[in-house]
Amino acid sequence: MQTGQRTAVVAIGGNSLIPDPKHPDVPHQWDAVRTTARHIADMIEEGWNVVITHGNGPQVGFILRRNELAAHELHMTPLDLIVADTQGSIGYMLQQTLDNEFTRRGLPRMALTLVTQVLVDPNDPAFHHPTKPIGRFLTREEAERFAAEGWHVVEDAGRGWRRVVPSPEPIAIIEEHAIRDAVRQGWVVIAVGGGGIPVVRNAKGELRGVAAVVDKDRASGLLAWRIHADLFLISTGVEKVALNFGKPNQQWLDRMTVSEAKRYMEEGHFAPGSMLPKIQACIQFVERTGNPALITNPENITRALRGETGTRIVPG
């Protein structure tokens, strides 16, 4: 890493790319990414080396829908290639907006996007119990058609049906050494987009993509551990983590020890598919490294780094 500088892995959520679901078009995505780039540049200006990871859920859904609409003329795109496509497109947007921000501020830095593969176990139980929703909500008739094509389809709380895919545990970041070396050379690296392209090794030891989605926060935490990051920061839709979220007795948290976080999880304070995987990823990083994790929203990243807001997860 650059001498004298601390390194953070910053995992940005879908709200950093599409903050308003009613305006998911590309011009609005550019506006959102420019805002995110300013927050990241603030952090870099304060002396941090940064590796950026990002979600891709809405973008995967858009590509799946385009596949459906064009199925009478074009071949379908496998899920691993869809993840790779979104790594390239979202990475390009982050890369360009960051470089423009660096130029505006006179910062001698540049951003680099690295298409990243994440190794998973082909025997992971997740492959037998798909749980990760992808794509749009479906009617019963559409769900039956997708099920006939081999998709796993589940009913979602009365809102319709959705396709679900496996979400196996990430084991290794294939391009880990390249990411570490790029950070040492001063690059701002964008990697592990969408949790990484899930791959397995076959009997010959060759890598092959699989139809799955790796949780972005878990993969980001793994990367943070493997590159010896000083901080793992999850940028999400809330300024702080809360107990009893959305209830009259809601309580914002400035700090949690690992043992407290585990107790809160057991008490059911963190929703699956929302805050729970973020807390789990933070716990895993803190236990492995002894370094802190931080959760806040994009506009408060700089204040959270100064200890003024956000929720910090620490050993203990």
Contact 156, 61 (CB under 8 A): no
Burial class (CB in 10 A: 0-12, 13-18, 19+), 221: buried
Q: Among residues 15, 56, 291, 297, which one is catalytic?
A: 15
Q: Is residue 67 annotated as a catalytic residue, yes or no?
A: no
Burial class (CB in 10 A: 0-12, 13-18, 19+), 311: buried
Q: Is residue 22 annotated as a catalytic residue, yes or no?
A: no
Q: Is residue 247 annotated as a catalytic residue, yes or no?
A: no
Q: Among residues 56, 61, 132, 310, which one is catalytic?
A: 132
Provide the token pair at 310: 């956000």
3-state secondary structure of 59: helix
Which stretches within the chain are classed as H helix?
26-45, 57-69, 79-105, 140-148, 176-184, 216-226, 258-266, 276-289, 301-305
The span from the CA of 192 to the CA of 91, in Å, is 10
Q: Is residue 14 annotated as a catalytic residue, yes or no?
A: yes
Q: How many CB atoms lie within 10 A of CB 202?
A: 9
Q: Among residues 49, 57, 61, 278, which one is catalytic?
A: 278
Q: Among residues 55, 61, 193, 216, which one is catalytic?
A: 216
Using the structure block, give the residue that is written with the tokens 């956000």. 310
Contact 8, 43 (CB under 8 A): yes
The answer to whether the Cα torsion of 25, 26, 29, 34 is positive or negative is: negative
Q: Is residue 216 annotated as a catalytic residue, yes or no?
A: yes
Residue 109 has what DSSP assignment? -
The span from the CA of 188 to the CA of 182, in Å, is 8
Active site (catalytic) residues: 14-15, 132, 216, 278
